[in-house]
Amino acid sequence: MYDEILQLVKFRSNEENRVSGVEQYWLGVDGGGTNTRAAIIDGAGNVRGEGNAQGANFLRVGLTTAVQHVVTAVERACSSAGIDRSRIAGACFGLAGVGNAKHRRQMHEALLEALSVETMCVETDARVALAGATNLEPGVVIIAGTGSIAYGMNDRGEYARAGGWGPAMGDEGSGHYIGRRALEAVVSAFDHRAPETGLTEDVCRHFGVTSPSELPPVIYDSPTEIMREIAQLSRLVVTAARDGDVVARGILTDAAIELARAVAAVIERLKMRRQSFRVAYVGGVFNAGDMVIAPMSESIRMVAPHAIVAPPLFPPVIGAARLAQMTSVSQEPVTS
């Protein structure tokens, strides 16, 4: 089904370009809690321009700031492609924080006003990540960046998700989860409730304090601003784990198991246990390599033995651009 749609997209875009003499372009945007990426592709699917900006999860940075970051990434992508924004035939924005219909509508209206793209759709960041990760084929994507979520589609076109509840209620296995666990390990060691860890010195240095006893004001006086700082602690955990810190390794293993649980929940809901499909991993947490990927893969295969745990075929931003092409075609049916 999706292969047919992609072929139709390419035929339509190439035919329109041939008739009009003006090449058309499609815009994809992937906006997470930390970074926003934009890419512009042509009718053949070639990337013609890319741009980056800060995070666009408006639940964390506010609607106005999130839109500004998206616009910045889009303008940089257009500049990279050497085109004016008016040449964009369609756009798809895959953004964190728009899982709720009300939030999605707010963002759609704000982006429409800011960018004036004729045909556009707003999807969750998980939706575009899945589209890119499996090249629009059935499968599951597990995203673990600042937050975490698993999202999948089966061969019947049914979708399911697990996770994505934000740092206050979930995001297990994410960068924020790992950072929070690092803080817990440091203060537990300070209290003599848990083993000593090299993370103590690293975390204190990160926040500019000399002792864990000085951490509470830093963490609690500016909780909104400190959210990103906590997620960044995951890098310190990875470094400590590579240096052999047992506590840090345990945190990464726990994160891997939590991510596998989210994937397993999606597989169960979509009834894919006995099928062969790709489980693609996306996000900065997987920079830890086999310290996260290996235990996660092992746990996933206990649920779905034929699952192929592997990197994404394409990044989320390309998934968004391809969905933009599909949306443009679906809104203008071809008649024979």
Beta carbons within 8 Å of 211's beta carbon, 6+ residues apart: 190, 204
Domains and CATH numbers, the chain: 2-134+315-330 (3.30.420.40), 137-312 (3.30.420.40)
The pLDDT value given to residue 118: 75
The pLDDT score that the predictor gives to residue 222 is 75
Q: Is the pTM of this model over 0.95?
A: no
Mean pLDDT of 48-68: 91
Q: What pLDDT band is residue 27 in, cutting at 50, 70 and 90?
A: very high
pLDDT band, residue 10 (cuts 50/70/90): very low
Over range 37-45, report the average pLDDT: 92
Contact 5, 329 (CB under 8 A): yes
User: Nearest 5°: phi and psi at 98?
Assistant: -115, 25
pLDDT score for 14: 47
Rounded to whole angstroms, the Cα distance separating 22 from 38 reads 22
Q: What is the pLDDT of residues 250-286, one digit of tens each?
A: 999 999 999 999 999 999 999 999 999 999 998 899 9
pLDDT band at 306 (very low <50, low <70, confident <90, very high): very high
pLDDT for position 271: 96
